[in-house]
Copies of this chain bind each other. A is one copy, B any other.
Amino acid sequence: MGTGDYNGADTDRIVISVDAMGGDAGPAAVVSGIAQSAAKNPDLAFLLHGPIEQLKQLVERRRALTGRVEFCDAQEVVSMQDKPAQILRRGKHTSMWSTIEAVRDGKATVAVSCGNTGALMALSMIRLNRLEGVSRPALAILWPSRNPHGFNVMLDAGADIRADSRDLLQFAMMGASYARNGLGLAHPRVGLLNVGTEQHKGNAELKAAYALIDSFSSKVNFDFVGFVEGGDIPGDKCDVIVTDGFTGNVAIKTGEGTAQLIGDLLREAFRFTPLSRLASLLSLTSFRRLQKRIDPRRVNGGVFLGLTGTVVKSHGSADATGVSAAVKLAFQLSKSGFSEKLAARVSTVAALAQDSSAFPLHQNLPNGERGADIPKAQGVQS
């Protein structure tokens, strides 16, 4: 491990643990991405995980990376087809395992990977532990929106298909913390996803979550705007949208698929006649301006929240630009001390909850949605 000229540890540089393997575009795209980041930001250094000979060759070609990379040899790769359970059993020598392990060992506070989401989540959950008081970590994503900063935070985007009212309260807190530290919003507005904005809508679990979040919002420094609808995920009514991982996962995939369909139909429409082909040439800059605004590569930094250490999931198809965006987000979160702030916030609420009669016990809620195979939440009492 290591190269002679790496001096990340000797400086005030922030070290990001980066999985070089597992993305569709291969390690060359990852190395190109971290080189872009390194060129822009002198305060960055990297722990780069993967087959060391291959990585060394790629890094040597990038002048921006001189003295900024420490290599961590890992000869195996998690593929997109690997099941999370397989990786937990036999994945010790994969680059993804090594990437997470560096965070566990305190060599970095944030990890970045473009690999298999399920495996990354499983490894993060098992190797990193949850923040004290957090029962369900969540995947938070950024979604293009009408807000001035251009994006909203939505969680859970699919880390876990279930969430009870307490989990949803924690998602609200974690999402708000992320918006503060990742997007720089001092006082984020949080909405709870439902099929309508009226208070009588939704199932019992959602109504309980409404009451919980409402009662805690003043104590945890965010505005609770109440129930919001699917249309508010790209809207400007709130900055953070809270939902369970099943609904969140379906919603963003529907939005993503619809956006891709529109893009393809647009291209088709412009190919139709010679005149429209001319128009499309003239429109190139307009399209590029739009693309920059909604480019999924720039918003691909899904983040696993609620763990001792932060894991940024970059899109599997991420190219250099996508990797660089994920690294930028990782840098911001690491620099702001996000994990520590989030841990403090969760434990404050846990303390408040112990004293509060407003905090309903889970067993009083009708129709809890946990399956028998899911361990009972520790809740915020722990």
Q: Which residues of A contact B (CB under 8 A)?
A: 143-146, 158, 161-162, 193, 195, 201-204, 229-235, 243, 245-247, 249-262, 264-266, 268-270, 272-273, 275-276, 278-280, 282-283, 285-287, 289-290, 293-294, 366-367, 369-372
Contact = CB atoms under 8 A, between A and B. Distances in A.
A262 B261 contact: no
Contacts of A259: 258-259, 262
6 contacts: A234-B257, A251-B251, A262-B294, A276-B285, A279-B283, A283-B283
A209 to B, nearest CB: 14
B272 A286 contact: yes
A276 B283 contact: yes
Contacts of A283: 270, 276, 279-280, 283
A229 B253 contact: yes
A367 B372 CA distance: 8
A258 B144 contact: yes
Contact of A161 (B146, B202, B276): B202
A195 B367 CA distance: 22
B195 A246 contact: yes
Contacts of A254: 230-231, 233-234, 251-252, 254-255
Contacts of A269: 286-287, 289-290, 293
Contact of A285 (B255, B264, B273, B293): B273
Contacts of A249: 195, 229-230
Contacts of A265: 290, 293-294
CB-based closest 3 A-B pairs? A230-B253, A231-B257, A279-B282
B158 A195 contact: yes
Chain B CB within 10 Å, residue with most, of A144, A145, A201, A276:
A276
Contact of A250 (B161, B251, B287): B251
A246 to B, nearest CB: 6
A283 B233 CA distance: 29
A282 B280 CA distance: 9
Nearest to A195: B249
Contact of A195 (B201, B250, B266): B250
